[in-house]
Structures are given as C-alpha cells and as structure tokens.
A and B are shown apart, each in its own frame.
Chain A
Amino acid sequence: MKTIKEKVMNQKIFASLLIAIFTSFVSISASAEEGAIRFSNNAFKQVITKNADGTTQYDYVEPGLVLPNDVILYEIVFENISDKPVENIVVNNPIANNSKYRGNSATGDSTEITFSVDGKIFAAADALTVKDKSGKSWQAKPEDYTAIRWVYKKALQPGEKGKVTYKTAIK
C-alpha cells in the first residue's frame, strides 16, 4: 500500500517537475552542468486533497501561490554526466529564509543525513543541541535547524542519478 502511494506521489512529482522545467525553468529552479555533475534544485508546494473515499492525496505543484504554513518540497537531483565514477559526494543545503525544516522529512537513498543549527557543526538529529538564554542546553527541534547535509555513501557511476529531498514550512 505504502509503495503504491509513493509511486503515485513520485509520478506526480515527476509530472510537476516537467511542468516546472518547461514553464519556469529559469525563474524557479536552477541546474548546473559544469563539470561531471548535472545538478538541479526544485521547489514544489504540497497540496493535500481529501478524496471522497477517505484517502488523502498529496500533490506537488509549482510554488505559484505560497502562503504562511504552506509545505514546500525541495528535490535535489545530481547526475553523473561524465565517463568516470564520481566519489565523495556531499550535498549541503542551508534552510531557506522564511522557512523552517519539517521534522523527519529529509530523504536520500544511500546517504547519511546530518543537520546543523549553526551551519558549522553537523550531527544526527538526536545529537544536536541548542542553548536557551540561561545557557541551558536542549535537544534541537526541527525548526532550529539551519542546514542539512547529505553524504552519499557510494560512488556515482557514469549515467547514474541520485536524489535527495526535504520539506519546509513557510513562516
């Protein structure tokens, strides 16, 4: 069941991605082709629809109308367009302005995901702390995160693609 839902979701993301590329490629997304990696970063707004049969449908659309508390999905894709394996891949992404990270939303096959509250020290979610005004340390909450890091644990072979995603909520 879960697999089917995710498949549906992924197709929708892919469809939306195509729309985004054809309609607003320059304005809302960017990809770079310098060197060995084709790298893209796209934002989609999550639209939740309750279906008549009681199921919930998640669509991901171009972020045309974005208001506070809307959820944004970021999809970052890297593709090896060279004829050699690419190694030691690390993707870093500071959380955007006006945005807060949604807990447990970061994904990435074959990656080790860490977070930071200061952009310098990266650690697993449960190992991050923040200090309050009195100097007392607390476990960091997802909205405290300022950056995410994905370390890709394999070599990316020629023609191979990797993808990482995460979600934010608009403040």
Chain B
Amino acid sequence: MLLFCFASFFVSANVYAAAGDSVSSTATIDYVIAGTPASTNATAVFTEDRRINFIVADANGGASVPVISDMTNAVLQFSVTNLGNATQDILLTAVNTSVNPYGLPADNFDPLPGTLRVFAESGLTPGYQAAEDTAVFVDELGLNLPRAVYVIADIPAQVIDDVAAIALIAQVAEGGAAGVEGVAINADDNGRVSPAGVFSNGSTNVAAGISNIIPDSALAMETVFNDPAGLNPEDVSTALIQDIAGNGQHSDAGAYQILSPVNILKSVTVVDTLGGADPHPGATLRYQLDVTVSGNTSVNNLVITDSIPANTTYSDGSISLNGVSQTDANDAPADYSRAVDILSKPVVMIEVDLSQGGTVSVAPGITNVIIFEVTIN
C-alpha cells in the first residue's frame, strides 16, 4: 500500500513511451479570393526528447525482513518503476550497506560473501521463484508499472536481532531489444553522468560516464537524466555514499533481521465444575500451544516445554499433540511427550519433542497444536 501511494505520487500524465516521437502539427487555412476558394497548409515539427526517470523502492512493508540464523536464499523485495517516457532496461546490483534504513537495531553483519544476488520478477508467478525469476536485469521496463526485484542472500550464524542492511542500486540502460541486456546509459546529453559500478550480478561493469553536452536540437532526440536522489546510503564506505539526483541511477535500502524461527501462541480456556468459565478452585485450565516455524528453513531438534503454573495441579494424561492423546510416561518411541516428574509428583512441566528424538525436522508453515490441562488448587 505504501508502495502504491509512492508510485502514484510520482505518476505524471505521461502514460506511454513517447521519447523520440516526431510531434507534428499541421494547420490548414481555407479562404476565398475574388470568389474562388483556395487552401494551403503549414506544419510545425519537433522531436519529443527522452526523460530518464525511475525509482527503486524497498517493498518489504516498511520493516526489516525476518530471517533466521543459517538461512539460505533469504529474500528482500524491491520494486523498480519507470517514470520517464521511454522503455528502458534496468541493470541491478545489491551491496552491503552500513545503515539500517529502519533505525535500530544497528546494522551489524553481512550475508555470507558471494551469496548476494539480484533477480527480476519474470511475471509468471508473483513472489520469488528460484526456477522462474532468473533474469539478472529488468528487461524492457515500460512506464509506470512497478516491476518486482528480489535480493537473495545466505545468512550466516547470527543471534536474535542482528541486522544486515542491503542497498539495491539500479542503473538505466537502453531498452528496445527484448531478452537482451541493454548497454548502460552512463551519460546524458546535458552534462550529467552515472558513477561507475558493477551490475547484473557482477557480469556488467558500468564505466563512469563522461560529461557530454549536446546542443538541443528540434529534430534530434536528446536524453536527459531526471531521476531523483536516493533516500538511503548505498554502500559500506565511511563516506556513506548516497545516490544523487540526475545520475541515471537510483537506489533504496532494506534489511534482514534475525528472529527466532519458532513462534508459540499460547491460549487458555477455563472449564469450571459447573460447565461455565469461572476460574474457581477445582476448575480446569486447558492450555493450548500453537507452535509454528517461520522463514523458509526447517528447524531441527525442536522440543517444546511448558511449566505447570503455581497453585495448579497437572491433570494426568491430559497432553495431546495435534489431537492425538499422549502418554505422561517417558516412553519414546511410544510417543515423544511426557509429564516431567509424573512418578514422584507433583508434575512440574510438560515436554513435547517435536523432533521425535532428533529424527524429524519441523518444516515452516505447519502448525503443531499441543494441549494440556491443569486444575486450580
């Protein structure tokens, strides 16, 4: 939604690729002289010149993207929108940057060296698809329709809340040939130049532009860099280089942030002895733990434990996992759940080993539901 508003804000009246068009206006005069009708006409012609204007925008909902330690192929999403008047190719590069665009926590790590890559959305299936989204540049970007671009990186072993900020830099290139990476446009005809850079996953080295001023001509098409300045620092140098306006490049930054991959949603239901919901002594409290793995990596050795609350007593035989009743005994492999101290009592906690003794990885997106009951003393 933020992205949508942003794009709309910049959309002007230009809705089609018009650069290089000959704009021709013919006036005709009809008149009568000495009773005889006559007619003549005159034409004014000039060429519409090329405005290069495009924006890169972080498209992760205005927040850092949660990732987990040791995750491979972690995805940051950006969009690139052409606000000029000609179809262009856009070359892409992702770089480690040193400022978290969302403030704190501060940037403190980089993805594994050599794993930072960029791919453009193919248009086949929304969202990053490794098999489909293989183009390393944006091909034939028309006007005013944002194209998704994905930054992919492997995350090293990190601890919770560590942040890696990444800038996506886009460089304008010639369009006009579908499927072919256009030559970078590193200077306009108005004395403005692009800085040097390595683009398209390292295979394209764009030389710094050389200032070039071509006199404006009514009939030749001139090119004018009209892109805005970037909003975030775009590299790790102490100079904190930031994209400037009118250089044929634009950039924005996003960030990965390490979070726990396991989410537990705990809820409680009161079942009193009269069938109501009043938590008086003797009433039963039914606890439910919804355990979900986020990210895109399975979790190994996932064991869930929960303490029995003070002033309550565990209800023997009340553990269930995904609707299947579990034994209280430590009797794997009959099941992998137990009530700790069931023999000596009181029971102090319940334990459910979702890894089934370390043999099973818990995949993302699946919810395991654990239920147990206690009574109020």
Give residues in A with beta carbon < 8 Å to B: 24, 27-32, 34-37, 39-43, 62-69, 72, 74, 76, 78, 82, 84-100, 156, 169-171
Contact = CB atoms under 8 A, between A and B. Distances in A.
Given A32-B42, A67-B49, A89-B29, 18 more contacts: A27-B219, A36-B33, A41-B27, A43-B23, A43-B45, A43-B46, A64-B218, A65-B222, A69-B12, A69-B14, A90-B29, A90-B31, A92-B28, A97-B21, A98-B21, A98-B23, A99-B25, A169-B13
Contact of B219 (A28, A31, A34, A78): A28
Contacts of A28: 44-46, 218-219
27 contacts: A27-B219, A28-B44, A28-B45, A36-B38, A39-B27, A39-B41, A41-B27, A41-B42, A43-B46, A64-B218, A65-B224, A66-B23, A66-B48, A68-B51, A68-B85, A78-B29, A85-B33, A86-B31, A90-B29, A90-B30, A92-B28, A92-B29, A93-B26, A98-B21, A98-B23, A99-B25, A100-B13
B16 interface: yes
A41 B44 contact: yes
A40 B224 CA distance: 31
Contacts, number: 147
Chain B binding site: helix, strand, loop or mixed by DSSP?
strand
B40 interface: yes
A76 B27 contact: yes
A40 B51 contact: no
Interface residues of B, number: 41
Interface of B: 12-16, 18, 21, 23-34, 37-38, 40-49, 51, 85, 215-219, 222, 224, 226
A27 B218 contact: yes
B31 A67 contact: no
A88 B32 contact: yes
A16 B27 CA distance: 20
B216 to A, nearest CB: 3
Contact of B25 (A41, A66, A88, A89): A41
Contact of A95 (B21, B25, B217): B25
Contacts of B44: 28-30, 41-43, 74, 96
Nearest to A64: B216
B30 A92 contact: yes
Choose among B16, B25, B40, B49 the residue with the greatest number of A CB atoms under 10 Å from its CB.
B25
Contacts of B32: 86-88
Contacts of B31: 36-37, 86-90, 156
Contacts of A24: 218
A38 to B, nearest CB: 9
Contact of A93 (B13, B28, B219): B28
Contacts of A37: 29, 31, 38, 40
Contacts of A64: 46, 215-218, 222
Contacts of A66: 23, 46-49
A40 B42 contact: yes
Contacts of A92: 27-30
Contact of B27 (A88, A93, A97): A93
Given A28-B218, A63-B46, A64-B218, A170 B38 contact: no
B319 to A, nearest CB: 63
Contacts of A67: 48-49, 51, 85, 224, 226
Contacts of B51: 67-68
B15 A171 contact: yes
Contacts of A85: 33
A169 B27 CA distance: 17
Given A67-B49, A86-B33, A92-B28, A31 B23 contact: no
A100 B18 CA distance: 13
B46 to A, nearest CB: 4
